Amino acid sequence: MKYIRLIIFSILIISSVSVYSQSEKDTPRNGEGIHAFLRRNKRTGTDNLNKFLELNKGKFGKETSLLKDVSYLLPDTDKDNTNKTESEVLVSGQTGKKTENKLFGEKYAEYTIKSDKLKGACFFLSSGHGGPDPGAMAEVDGYELCEDEYAYDITLRFARNLMEEGATVYMIIQDAEDGIRDDRYLSNSKRETCMGATIPLNQIARLKQRTDKINSLSKRSKAKYKRSVFIHLDSRSQKQQLDVFFYYSKNSTAGKKLANTMRETFSDHYDKHQPDRGFTGTVSTRTLYVLDKTLPVGIYAELGNIQNSFDQRRFLQSDNRQALANWMCRGFIKDYENWKKGK
């Protein structure tokens, strides 16, 4: 009899634990999308998304939008899953394998691993200023152009390219709503986060936040080849035409090699596609917080001047933004090959 009571008591405990684990709820904030909602509740990743959709069937609006004042059940938290985000894709290196990342947006979410050229390499990508600071701004045809929106679009394309070559990629700055966009004029928002955390207004605090995040992720990563990449469209005199400038920390030999490899790659492509124009991009050291404080070898890429009318053409066309992402990816493939050869 005691044995039967013990079994019944155990079943009741297990049932109550199961109910309790599924009973955590939250209500979306005004204008909050499903990915932002889950990220705020620390339920990131495809598994959590699927569980959330299953738990809340019949409680969504059009295109799985969240409804105002509706309380949604949250999936169980899992210690392993909470360490993974939509921005981290641990690829197997199996060519031909199809996978998905919602951060790229509906049109580009699915991609195929084309090669293992970057298998074993780990990248930490940070774009623009993000959050409350739109960075450099300009106006074209009555539309406002913001540095961080175009830098983010290029960085997303770059991340996708790296993943297609078998790399592990962390998107440090994220926008849960804006994936890769093919529009000429990219609307500005202040939704960007540092992997789910609100981005501070103070510049030093903002830089420290992303640097600390990169260093934390880097310490967890077992990859031997790690690179941090900071992508900007610099604000300078409107009369000053910019090409692409690459900066590295003065004490980083590997950073210097990377920057030179990147410049050579861009120069080769400019010679091929615009032989009459030439390429005047440079490589140099620069004292920057993010380069000096991050643990992985870093490169800071100024991809042009969004306030310059000539460079604006480069950024307004989505094909040009994709080309910049392609060239950066090829530069890293070359740098990775050199690193493996001990060069």
Cα 294 to Cα 243, 320, 328, distances in angstroms: 26, 29, 20
What's residue 18's pLDDT? Answer: 38
What's residue 17's pLDDT? Answer: 37
Confidence of residue 31 (pLDDT cuts 50, 70, 90): confident
pLDDT digits (tens, 9 = 90+) for 126-135: 998 766 666 7
Q: How many domains does the chain have?
A: 2
Percent of the chain with pLDDT over 70: 82
Token output for 281: 């991009």
Token output for 115: 């090669």
Domain of residue 281, CATH code = 3.40.630.40
What's residue 79's pLDDT? Answer: 43
* DSSP code, position 102: G
In one-letter notation, the amino acid at residue 32 is: E
291/144 same-domain check: yes
**Who wins on pLDDT, 246 or 33?**
246
Nearest CA among 217, 228, 230 for reference residue 85: 217
What's residue 132's pLDDT? Answer: 66
Pick from 80-84, 194-198, 207-211, 314-318: least confident: 80-84
Question: What's phi and psi for 182, nearest 5 deg?
Answer: -100, 5
**pLDDT above 60 for 272:** yes
In the predicted model, what is the mean pLDDT of the chain? 83
Token output for 65: 């939008």
pLDDT digits (tens, 9 = 90+) for 105-141: 999 999 999 999 999 999 999 998 766 666 777 788 8
If one counts every other C-beta atom within 10 angstroms of the C-beta of residue 309, the result is 12
Q: Are 171 and 179 in contact (CB under 8 A)?
A: no
Pick from 229-243, 271-285, 319-333: least confident: 229-243
What's residue 84's pLDDT? Answer: 47
Q: Is residue 71 part of a domain?
A: yes
Which helix (H) or strand (E) segment holds residue 35: the answer is helix 34-40
Q: Is residue 75 part of a domain?
A: yes
**pLDDT above 80 for 214:** yes
What's residue 146's pLDDT? Answer: 86
Rg (CA), the chain: 22
**Who wins on pLDDT, 149 or 234?**
149
Q: Cβ neighbours of residue 81 under 8 Å, at least 6 residues apart?
A: 43, 44, 45, 47, 48
158/29 same-domain check: no
198/302 same-domain check: yes
Q: Are 333 and 118 in contact (CB under 8 A)?
A: yes
Q: Could you tell me the residue range of the domain that residue 51 belongs to?
A: 24-82
30/175 same-domain check: no
171/78 same-domain check: no
Q: Are 37 and 73 in contact (CB under 8 A)?
A: no
